[in-house]
Structure 1
């Protein structure tokens, strides 16, 4: 079935998965804003997208196994510029909310692009009758 869709479509699918994982990361940071000594996960979209692409490549090559299922070994939690509060927590709730809102908008944009590609494919199928 992968031959039916272009590599651009597969990249959009991977981007959508990465956006969803990034949203979960931001939500986790916000949920732990009051947890003493919690270090915020600072992974970016690029980090997660690269990991997802590598995972997809390994799956496509048939090399995926449980022993090497974790591609991204670092948690991204340590940040040199992160300011610690007295309780050792470095989550800035306002910044996390802003990042979460931006990611949500990018998720919606990616979804619209996927819908557009599927719609184009559906139109091509309808015209072929």
Structure 2
């Protein structure tokens, strides 16, 4: 019997994605003045595509249009962006990085809220609804 039905594992992968993205954004900001530095990013779409390929390669689903997100271990992929912003070859756009930082913070807070809610529900069940 799977007590958490994969929810905690999915939330954990979401938090791992957010953590890697935070580190990449911080690294980009730290290298804003480094000549030749190419900014990096973490692709949620690439991670989702990997999950979709894993789900289509095996495993059962409750509905043909549902993805089986519990199969396999996926890690967020970091890649270089292919553009230069400045003459020195530096590819960090500070406005974009700050916007990405704010977006990632909102995503992280939402994931933490869901994990907290899940554990709160389990606590309520353990206490017998009190």
Q: Same fold (TM over 0.5)?
A: yes
Extract unaligned runs of 5+ from structure 1. 60-69
Structure number with higher relative contact order (C-alpha < 8 Å, ≥ 6 residues apart): 1
Q: Which residue of 2 aligns with 1:36?
A: 35
Give the root-mean-square deviation of aligned CA atoms: 3.0
Structure 1 residues 111 and 126, CA gap change in structure 2 (3 angstroms): same
Extract unaligned runs of 5+ from structure 2. 55-70
**Secondary structure, aligned partner of 2:41:** coil
1:12 pairs with 2:15: no
Q: Find 2:72's aligned residue among 42, 57, 60.
A: 57
Normalized per residue, the structure richer in helix is: 1
**Secondary structure, aligned partner of 1:36:** coil
Q: Provide the TM-score with structure 1 as the length reference.
A: 0.73
Aligned-residue offset at 1:3: 2.9
Q: Provide the TM-score with structure 2 as the length reference.
A: 0.72
Which consecutive segments of 4 or more residues in structure 1 shift more than 6 A? 49-52
Q: Which residue of 2 aligns with 1:77?
A: 80
**Secondary structure, aligned partner of 2:88:** coil
Normalized per residue, the structure richer in strand is: 2
Name the CA distance, whole Å, in 2 between partners of 1:122 and 1:40.
Answer: 43
Q: Which residue of 2 aligns with 1:87?
A: 88
Bigger mean CA offset, 82-91 vs 32-41: 82-91
